[in-house]
């Protein structure tokens, strides 16, 4: 069984994340959306809200599972016996950043990183942009799945 984790903070889940997860679920038998917990980071949404947004968005997809974790992603991969990390790339800056992480992860554990390019229609969306739109009372509903529309 080929399993991959898709790690992130998902604060909140965006249509870009949704697209990568849907496409990843066609490539892997199981995609585990791994919500990382970072005590030093200030989130707009609670861990419970973020988990609920994702669970609701993928309620009808039995290949997608949602979990939370602390610590290094590669350590979590070893803990749950996962060989692949799934990541989305929006632009060249994402690639350079993610490439360095992928090389580091491969040095730390026998884990491969698989990159998917975001679709053209979602390549401009990021969680930080969504948070800014929400903070400024803008229409964020075009940027997130229905499960995130609060």
Show the tokens assigned to 85: 């990390």
Cα angle, residue 60 at apex, residues 65 and 35 outer, rounded to 5°: 25
Contacts of 93 by beta carbon, 8 Å cutoff, 6+ apart: none
Q: b or e along 109-147 (b: 16 or more beta carbons within 10 Å of the residue's beta carbon)?
A: bebebeebebeeebbebbbeebbebbeeeeebeebbbeb
H/E segment holding residue 12:
none
Residue 132, helix vs strand vs coil: helix
Active site residues: 17, 41, 90, 127
């Amino acid at each position: 069984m080929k399993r991959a984790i898709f790690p992130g903070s998902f604060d909140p889940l965006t249509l870009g994340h949704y697209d990568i997860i849907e496409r990843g679920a066609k490539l892997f038998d199981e995609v585990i959306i791994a919500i990382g917990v970072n005590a030093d980071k200030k989130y707009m949404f609670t861990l419970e809200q973020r988990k609920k947004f994702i669970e609701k968005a993928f309620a009808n997809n039995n290949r997608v599972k949602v979990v939370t974790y602390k610590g290094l992603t590669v350590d979590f991969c070893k803990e749950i016996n996962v060989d692949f990390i799934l990541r989305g790339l929006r632009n060249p800056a994402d690639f350079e950043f993610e490439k360095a992480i992928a090389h580091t992860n491969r040095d730390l554990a026998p884990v491969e990183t698989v990159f998917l390019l975001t679709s053209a229609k979602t390549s401009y969306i990021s969680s930080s942009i969504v948070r800014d739109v929400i903070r400024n009372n803008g229409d964020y509903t075009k940027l997130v799945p229905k499960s995130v529309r609060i």
